[in-house]
Chains A and B, each alone.
Chain A
Amino acid sequence: GAGVSQTPSNKVTEKGKYVELRCDPISGHTALYWYRQSLGQGPEFLIYFQGTGAADDSGLPNDRFFAVRPEGSVSTLKIQRTERGDSAVYLCASSLGVQETQYFGPGTRLLVL
């Protein structure tokens, strides 16, 4: 079956701009997660959705970052007033339920110039 998909695969933007990153989870997966992976590091947790609600957004670095999942399926990670330090690979994962193994998408590589 289809895995987690993320669009775009690459995004280049200028400092100060707004970006949206999209995640399509595996069909039927109720839990969805966003992680960020900086160069030379492992993925770092950002936010977790159970259904439509953000159950834990403690990993979001500041209020420039926001994520939604309005219908309990597709999620969008939104970054306002981007900074060069936001450059990273943004990974989305989904799981059947919160206790289940997380399956990752290919990521969106964001470069802020």
Chain B
Amino acid sequence: DQQVKQNSPSLSVQEGRISILNCDYTNSMFDYFLWYKKYPAEGPTFLISISSIKDKNEDGRFTVFLNKSAKHLSLHIVPSQPGDSAVYFCAASAASGTYKYIFGTGTRLKVLA
């Protein structure tokens, strides 16, 4: 039972355009969400997070949007750069087990120069 779903295994975007990566979750107890980026042969690198008390969090080119009623979050990257090409994982945790991150299966982003 996949509690965190990333339904798009891959995405290609032109350099300079917006990349939108989506994530859906099923557990209404989740209250903290994160995005990690992963390059080949490296561990996941933390990108940005959002608490359920917010609906948007921004950090430079990266913005995460949370829609609690739809149990959906998205990561926007503007403008996209070739160095953003990586696998992006969405993760969630619940207040009862804040340390236990539940990850999606990832979306491979390719930014074309």
Q: Which residues of B contact A102 (CB under 8 A)?
A: 46, 99, 101
Binds A, one of B13-21, B53-61, B78-86, B103-111: B103-111
Shortest Cβ distance from B90 into chain A, in angstroms?
8
A4 is an interface residue with CB less than 8 A from chain B: yes
For B46, list chain A residues within 8 Å (CB).
101-104
CB distance from B59 to the nearest CB of A (A): 13
B75: interface (CB < 8 Å) = no
Interface size classification for chain A? 20 to 34
A25 on interface, CB distance cutoff 8 Å: no
Contact between A42 and B89 (Cβ–Cβ < 8 Å)? Answer: yes
Interface membership of A62, Cβ < 8 A: no
The answer to whether B106 touches A42 (Cβ under 8 A) is yes
**Contacting pair A43 B98 (CB below 8 A):** no
Closest to B89 in A: A42
Closest to B41 in A: A106
Taking a contact as CB atoms under 8 Å apart, the answer to whether A42 and B4 are in contact is yes
28 contacts between A and B (CB under 8 A): A4-B43, A31-B99, A33-B99, A35-B101, A40-B105, A41-B105, A42-B4, A42-B103, A42-B104, A43-B44, A43-B89, A43-B101, A43-B103, A45-B101, A56-B99, A56-B100, A59-B100, A91-B44, A95-B99, A98-B98, A101-B34, A101-B46, A104-B43, A104-B45, A104-B46, A106-B43, A107-B42, A107-B43
